[in-house]
Structure 1
Amino acid sequence: MPLTANDPKRKSWLHVPKNSDFPIQNIPFGVFLTRDDIITIGTRIGETAVDLGALHQLGYFKGIDLTDDIFLQDTLNDFIADGRKTWRLVRNRVSDLFLEGNDELRKHKDHCKEVLFRLDEIEMQLPVDVGDYTDFYASKEHATNVGSLFRDPENALLPNWLHIPIGYHGRSSSIVPSGTPIRRPIGQTKPGDDGKPGFGPSKLLDFELEMAFITTATNDLGKRVPIKEAEENIFGLVLFNDWSARDIQAWEYVPLGPFLGKSFASTISPWIVTLDALQPFRTNGPKQDPKPLPYLQQKDNMNYDIHMQAAIQPKGSKETVVSNSNFKYMYWSMAQQLTHHTVNGCNVRSGDMMGSGTISGPTEDSYGSMLELSWKGTKPLKLNDGSERKFIHDGDTIIMRGYCEKDGLRLGFGECSGRVLPARE
């Protein structure tokens, strides 16, 4: 099916500011509360939110096999479960309706009042009910940096890292949408000289600059997904901040891995950008050496060129950009991650989420966490207001952004942000 919505020459009759993350070629999907206190599924073009539930009720999706309530729900799970054919048909239709020169909707002013909202008239919600969440550890630079900080720099990568996408099962209940405040966690930390574990608010609170992908109903229990079919089961991507309490994590993670140091909160951007919209930005990933086992071997152009940025904004001050990275640095691609996830027969369901792990690049300014940027606190970062940071302070807001740009076409993800509140003692 042709991706007519991706045509770079298309322009919308809705106003789209220059360098907007949401041109007509994007058409992401999200869930929002309207000015009438109705939760609906929608999309966004420029600075306008579009109520897909109202659009469907008014008959603008005729010819597409959709249930009457597909967009009148508080999550995208059922829509995602309908599969890529439905996603493409809907996205193409939305693109056509808002295409410059098409007056099918525009001439009905009463319909436009029901369908279109200013951004200050809506409140974004969590776009999916995340049944299961897996976080991978798929950036070679990040894994090498962490291995160097905590182990022998000459043997920073563990023997399995170059052979399998390493991951762990995260906590889906604490995934929240952008803008949700984050409470500093409390927990145990490594013993001091007296041999007794410490206890109290985390002193080494950190962000992790990541992307995450959302799956459809991928496979039944006991079946696996071959790598050539993996991307057919990926709906789209969001920005992802997997907040981390490094001191809590350092004490608990041996031998079973992350637990309370991660599960207190994870923030995602509210608009899911479809994998279809990202097709023009495909690129090669890093060379994989040694060659993966056959079930993980993939064709070229399985990574995506997405510029990523993290900033710290102290309370009452302007932000300071502290990291500029790129999703293309991922050593293990999304297709490899999903394929490996199901190779043992693990079933993946609609709305499940897979985090990339921290995305660090080859230079110090492209590291994706404060652990690396401050090199475990030995190299404090100076912010624009003159203050310094080794890790995150109470009152700090972490802002993440991501966008793609090629041949004059730019699209992105908006913001993924969260302000840190003091621990509740």
Structure 2
Amino acid sequence: MSMIEADLLPETRRALVHRLATGQVQGRAPSVVAAVVRSGRPVWMHGWGQVDGVVPDGDTQYRIGSITKTFVAVLVLRLRDEGLLDLSDPLDRHLPGTPVGEATVGALLAHTAGLAAEPPGPWWERTPGALRPELADVLGKDPQLLPAGQRHHYSNPGYALLGALVERIRGDAWDRVLQREVLAPLGMTRTTMHQVAPHARGWAVHPWADVLLPEPDVDTGRMSPAGQLWSTAADLARFAAFLLDGDPRVLNPDSVAQMRVPACPPEATAWDSGYGLGTQLLRRDGRLLAGHTGSLPGFVATVWTSADEDLGVVALGNVTSGLPIGGLAADLLQTVAVREPRIPEPWRPLPTVDPALLDLAGPWYWGPSPYVLRPQADGCLELAALAGWAEHPAAPDRRRAVGGAQRLFHR
């Protein structure tokens, strides 16, 4: 952590409590709990409402729904980093016998394999996993809806396949692999497949009366990699810190950063959202947020991170609908980012620069459009647009760099 104090100002804390409280009231949620992470540690955590007559805290468990998928993606990327698979590998190479064996591992992670959004039959979130005991039951007779690789099409069965892939390669149940390889190293002792007290109960609220209706609590079986896990605000705060900085015991920072790179083109009318490798991406208030939302009957959850701001936010609630938890979490992050913006590290000169690279530094042109080439600390060169540079490259003293269809000219 830097020399800058990480704790939040009292005015910021009050604004966060106000947003959390209004969200709980307007969303008619029995309870909500949230946390903010900065510089690798929680700097704020608060609950509103009640669970069994007590205000929830960072140790109260909630179901986290599809945030489970991000954990599964971490397991798959660990396999990739160990050289046990490649993201371009067809599924059939490691998990033979499914009707979608040509789908690549990377496409399943990014939801671009064209698979059906849901398994056949009744809603999987409301029916016991015993209804679909085998992978064939999860996929159904006609699981391929779209040509692979052309569009993002969210698929819960796709992540059931990835969980089975982890099991096949590791030779153990995916949740035991997760506990051993991810949860234990990160200190996430309150993230489990099934609820462990203290935990919230899942509720729906009557649409026309302030009356609670109990929601089913089912073991989703083969579909569990798509959304089974329970967790707490404190545990997910640790996970948010991991999604910002990585952890060499689990996944190196470069692989974690790859998770938040868009892995598929956005829809033509939705340029503000996308999907990476197991993470949802959202552009909001000029910031790129990466993380995941989640929901199962009676519960909603979100983890958002902003790498540029070094901020993470967690929000959990126990209500089926009416509480836009993703927007609530994004508002909490925005509150901290605006009121207490990240203070940059001091500028420092480059220790050494190859004279040949230094000679290339400066303005370059693609046609009349100006760019600037700058040496970087890692020895690479950065090419960026150069605003406000009006000189035209018409002089004879110039160099040319040719790459594919692009030609850059240097005065």
TM-score class, shorter: under 0.3
**TM-score normalised by the chain length of structure 1:** 0.22
Identify the structure with the greater strand proportion. 1
